[in-house]
A and B are shown apart, each in its own frame.
Chain A
Amino acid sequence: MARMKFLCDAERCIECNACVTACKNEHEVPWGVNRRRVVTINDGKPGERSISVACMHCSDAPCMAVCPVDVFYQTDQGVVLHNKDLCIGCGYCFYACPFGAPQFPQASNFGSRGKMDKCTFCAGGPEKDFSDAEFKKYGRNRLAEGKLPLCAEMCSTKALLAGDGDQVSNIYRERVVARGFGSGAWGWSRAYPGQGA
């Protein structure tokens, strides 16, 4: 199995925020913490696009590189997880992450932000699978139940894809061929100028 990946199809996302709500509900995420959010560009103008953003579970994750206490690790499926018992709440991961994925329960200074929280790809944490401790710290472990992240599974337009990177890319490739134009991916025209929208 390839690495687990998220991909948001900007041509399909209708900014309903159901992925955000589903995530908060499934993991009982506290107030002030958003593991996932929907970002809209050109709001109300021609060319408006929305994408759902959370931790992208980077192959070479910058959060892992900057963490002074090494709380991060990757599972065999490439999911970037962290250990809240080791976190000192310094916030370096927040500054390093290009997606703004790391979240903190309190907005205050060094060491008083509380333990970092982020998307776990619905894979829980280092605690024993299905234990109360795992749920309280990291939320539900859907991967261990043989399920995919809820945000992607309940997406009504199937804009948000999650799972084995090979399968995700196959689904997306078929969509691009069916559409018959560009990739529809957010940022495509900037990455490949002059090659269609």
Chain B
Amino acid sequence: MNKTKKIVIAAFALALASGLAGCRDEEQNRPLSTSKSTYHGPSDDKLSEQQLREIRHRMNIQAGGQI
């Protein structure tokens, strides 16, 4: 194997390694996952009982009632 060929292989291996290193969550700035059908992002804030009560109350307007 001549010297040029070794240099090309080494350069290719280096490029591959650096490419794979760029596949982390922090570097992509987003959650990464290979498992299917599961949401891996941040979870939503849950609505409190008070918020749900207000929403139910506002449904009365749609039924023809008043606020």
Contact = CB atoms under 8 A, between A and B. Distances in A.
B45 interface: yes
A126 B44 contact: yes
Contact of A164 (B41, B55, B61): B55
B41 A144 contact: no
Contact of A70 (B29, B38, B59): B38
B50 interface: yes
Given A70-B38, A73-B41, A126-B41, A146 B46 contact: no
B57 to A, nearest CB: 8
Contact of A86 (B41, B43, B45, B62): B41
A59 interface: no
Given A1-B52, A128-B45, A147 B39 contact: no
Q: Is the interface of B mostly helix, strand, loop or mixed?
A: loop
Interface in A121-167: 123-129, 143-148, 152-153, 158, 161-164, 167
A76 B46 contact: yes
Given A70-B36, A70-B38, A167 B56 contact: yes
Given A70-B33, A171-B63, A148 B45 contact: no
B64 interface: yes
Contact of B62 (A70, A85, A161): A161
Given A70-B39, A71-B41, A86-B31, A158 B62 contact: yes
Interface residues of B, number: 29
Interface of B: 29-31, 33, 36-47, 50-56, 58-59, 61-64
Given A85-B30, A144-B47, A144-B51, 16 more contacts: A70-B37, A73-B41, A81-B44, A83-B39, A86-B40, A126-B44, A127-B42, A148-B58, A148-B59, A148-B62, A153-B61, A163-B56, A163-B58, A164-B56, A167-B63, A171-B59
